[in-house]
Amino acid sequence: MADALTELLETAGLRQRIQKSLAEFLAMQVDGLDAIGDELTPVGQALQEFVLDGGKRVRPAFCYWGWCGAGGSDTDEIVTAASALELVHAGALIHDDVMDASDTRRSQPAIHKRFEQLHRDSGWRGDPASFGTSAAILLGDLCLIWADQMLLSSGLPGEALVRGRPTFDLMQSEVMAGQYLDVLEQARGTGSVEAALRVARYKTAKYTIERPLQLGAELAGAGRAVITAYTAYGVPLGEAFQLRDDILGVFGDPAETGKPAGDDLREGKRTVLAAMVGERADAAEAAVLDRCIGDADLDERGVDAVREIIERTGVLVDVERMVAERADQAVAALDAAQLDATAVQALTGLARAATSRRG
């Protein structure tokens, strides 16, 4: 099923075309940095590797299909514009890793760890960890700025860009707001399902699906009906996508997810799944959850104990049902507007694949 998503993302050779446009854009930016001074070479290299080595390219894919759905024809310009979303995402991830103090990202050292190591290897003065953090803040900022530049220099006409920008900007404000609510929720620990769902809506649903689709539509000059249909498709699908992530974070097979089993439990992630089980657990179960969730050294037995509670309380079945309902709702919403038939087929496939994936 993970393959089904990957396959869909390959439609129209999309993945390779996104990769190519990112590689070309970054090569140009890195030349610009090198012209300032060769001390900036590690900055350029780190960003090229970070952006080009990983990622499913889900956001550019939705932007591309959002454009096609609104009747836009398949050009290199829209692929380049859509690829700019990967740079926004790279900036958000680099900053996120600093905030979470995560050591790795996609099996590689996080950017702040990479620059901490550069400091250490070079025998520079001062604290290597602070150097790493400073570098990561700046590299994340560069990605956000470059995202802008990539959209702008995509070759799309000026009036299309002016139409698309409000959505591009709104998407970024929303994801930052969502991140803040997430950090706040970790600190306040209300553990409510409502709070977790809201974080999912802003950090994932709008950011990953609704806004990328709408950006594509705005760039293509779509009318109100298409924009509204993309909300009706994107928000439930995005929530379903996040709920699937919640399930995989606890029940996923490491061979398919690429992450250790039960990793979300060790990190103490405040997911909708965790909030629901927290609400339903009896006193004995609550004690187990309290002990296990957020325990960085949680072993396999501990993971199994939590899984059992999630199943016993009926939360797993209910979250699976929420995923399915939202996926259906998303697919049904595609009928409401006069969308291009090929795009409807792709978006239907993406909805099915994204919510039934195993990694």
Q: For residues 337 and 226, what is the distance between their CA atoms, to the nearest angstrom? A: 6
Residues of this chain that bind its own copies (CB under 8 A): 29, 32-33, 36-37, 39-40, 43, 91, 95, 98-99, 101, 119, 122, 124-126, 130-131, 133-135, 137-138, 140-142, 144-146, 148-149, 152-153, 158-159, 161-162, 165-166, 169, 172-174, 176-177, 179-181, 183-184, 186-189, 198, 202
By C-alpha distance, which of 272, 262, 348, 352 is closest to 316? 272
Closest to its own copies by CB, 119 vs 269, is 119
Closest to its own copies by CB, 134 vs 345, is 134
Helices vs strands, H then E, count in the chain: 18, 2
Closest to its own copies by CB, 191 vs 359, is 191
Residue with tokens 């990793």: 263
Q: For residues 333 and 340, what is the distance between their CA atoms, to the nearest angstrom? A: 14
Closest to its own copies by CB, 185 vs 264, is 185
Closest to its own copies by CB, 166 vs 254, is 166
Q: 3-state DSSP helix/strand/coil percent for the chain, to nearest 5?
A: 80, 0, 20
By C-alpha distance, which of 290, 277, 283 is closest to 250? 277
Give min distance, CB of 284 to its own copies, in A: 23
Closest to its own copies by CB, 15 vs 165, is 165
Cβ neighbours for 325, distance < 8 A, ≥ 6 positions apart: 236
Give min distance, CB of 217 to its own copies, in A: 18
For the purposes of burial, counting CB atoms within 10 Å of the CB of 263, is it exposed (0-12), middle (13-18) or buried (19 or more)? middle
Give min distance, CB of 301 to its own copies, in A: 26
Cβ neighbours for 158, distance < 8 A, ≥ 6 positions apart: none
Give min distance, CB of 112 to its own copies, in A: 11
Closest to its own copies by CB, 122 vs 338, is 122
| Type and span of the H or E element at 221 | none
Give min distance, CB of 175 to its own copies, in A: 9
Give min distance, CB of 155 to its own copies, in A: 12
Give min distance, CB of 180 to its own copies, in A: 5
Q: What is the DSSP string of 33-84?
A: HHHH-GGGHHHHHHHHHHHHS----HHHHHHHHHHHHTT----HHHHHHHHH
**Total residue length of the chain:** 359
- Residue 320 structure tokens: 């699976």
Give min distance, CB of 128 to its own copies, in A: 9
Closest to its own copies by CB, 110 vs 135, is 135
Q: For residues 259 and 249, what is the distance between their CA atoms, to the nearest angstrom? A: 8
